[in-house]
Structure formats: structure tokens, C-alpha cells
Amino acid sequence: MHGVPLTERVIEVVRRDPQASALPHLLPHVNVPWVEGGEARPMAEEVLAAAVFPSGRPLPPSLRAWLAYDTSLLERHEWFTPDGGFAPRPLDQVVSDEMGAFWGTEFSWLSGHFPECFLLPGGSDSRRILAVTEPDEEGEYPVFALDLDDMPYLGLMYPGFDVYLADTAGLLELGKRRTYTDLIDHGIYGPRMRHHAVRCFAGEACVEYPFEFAPVYEQLYPGRGEVIGRG
């Protein structure tokens, strides 16, 4: 199941207990309710009908379905401007805001590829980021895992907001994750993950620090690899 049908299943679960924590196992001591105050705040129909990202890219179907139900979860993660428009940040700005300016600078070489990013609930030392890129066949954009715990890392975690929501709600039996990128080999979601891998990381599932030695560095940052090599 993908896209809107999968998102609608999540909404059915959340409606039963809107104030339940979205992250009960990951962050049991932090209150991250699905719906703030227990009363959903949908985006106005006429606003949602015309909504696109600032780049002009369309909203993924799953996000459109979720916003028709509630905006509060994403509002708490700085998705919107004061007047209700979308407020994406380039990747390096998200990293700076969440992890500190030093690491934001280290990720700046990727910001041209990921200029429209949105923070999602999830992770303790790590973060989840929706990146508006080329959509997959479901019209969905990838969700990345950002982790600085050992070596700084950015990798594909979910093929879209739809699968992210469903896994967060405990609807998918994906088993214990060995790595952030496990779903790239999944029987159902693997093809979508591999599509994003080609579009986002030149076929790789992730990039790791030190980035200049990553196999995809020269492809994602043309010319810079030659300078590093001569240095």
C-alpha cells in the first residue's frame, strides 16, 4: 500500500486517540502528540487545493491527505510561515538549526541538490528530513535520516511521507532496522527507494563523512573532487 490509501489508514488510527504520542517507543519521555490539543486543525480546503511548494513542485499525495486532516504536527516542526505558507529550508540550514553551524557548513555542498527540506518528528540524536526532489512514481518525495552520532551521515530512510507516517504509527511490520537504508531492499518499497537513490545520491543509498572521499562526491559536486585530489 502506498500514497493516499496508506495515509488514510494512519489517519484512522490517529483519530482514535489524537493526543497519543507519535513516538512512544523512540522518545517515551517526550510528549510528541500526533495532534496538539487533541483537536485536529485541517488546512482550509481552498488553501490546500491551490497549495504547492515555493519551488512550484506539487505536494505529495500523502502530505495533501494528511494536511486535509491536521496541520498541527508539522506546524510544531516549523513547516509554515506566519501567514500559513510553506517555509522550507535548504539542507545546510536544517543541519545548522538542529545540530549547530559547524555541521551545517559541512553539509552545504548538498544544499544545491536539496534546497527545500522540512523537519519531521523522529530520532533522538538523529533527525528525519523530507526533501522536495524529483518525485517517485507515487508522486512522493524521500525522507532522509540525518545522523551525527558517529560519522556524519545522510541517507534514504523512507521512500515518502506515506511510508514514514505508516511506520511511525506502527502499521508496517518492517522488522528491526539494521541500518537507516534497509528499505532499499524491501520487496514493496525497495523500487521507490532505489528510484530516489539514483536521483538523490547518484545511485548510492547515503553519503558519509568525510564527504570528499565518498564515491558520489564528484558526481554530486562536479569539479570539487578534482580540487580535493590536487590538494
Print the SS3 string covering the chain: CCHHHHHHHHHHHHHHCCCCECCCCCCCCCCCECCHHHCCCCCCHHHHHHCECCCCCECCHHHHHHHHHCCHHHHCCCCECCCCCECCECHHHHHHHHHCHHHHHHCHHHCCCCCCEEEECCCCCEEEEEECCCCCCCCCCCEEEEECCCCCEEEEEECCHHHHHHHHCCCCCCCCCCCCCHHHHCCCCHHHHHHHHHHHHCCCCEEECCHHHCCCHHHHCCCHHHHHHHC
Read off the C-alpha cell for 219: 558526481
CA dist 56 → 16, 19, 119 (Å)? 35, 33, 19
pLDDT at 25: 57
- Taking alpha carbons only, the member of 140, 117, 141, 139 closest to residue 129 is 117
Read off the C-alpha cell for 51: 497549495
pLDDT at 212: 75
Q: How many residues does the chain have?
A: 231
Read off the C-alpha cell for 35: 495532534
- What is the pTM assigned to this prediction? 0.90
pLDDT at 176: 75
Determine how β-strand 126-131 pairs with β-strand 143-147.
antiparallel
In tens, the pLDDT along 126-156 reads: 899 999 999 999 999 999 999 987 778 899 9
User: What sign does the dihedral 201-160-194-173 (CA atoms) show?
Assistant: positive
Read off the C-alpha cell for 6: 496508506
pLDDT tens-digit profile, the chain (231 residues): 899 999 999 999 999 998 888 876 555 456 788 998 889 999 999 999 999 999 999 999 999 999 999 999 999 999 999 998 999 999 999 999 998 898 888 888 888 889 999 999 887 678 999 999 999 999 999 999 999 877 788 999 999 999 999 999 889 887 777 889 999 999 999 999 999 999 999 899 998 887 776 677 777 776 554 433 333
pLDDT at 230: 30
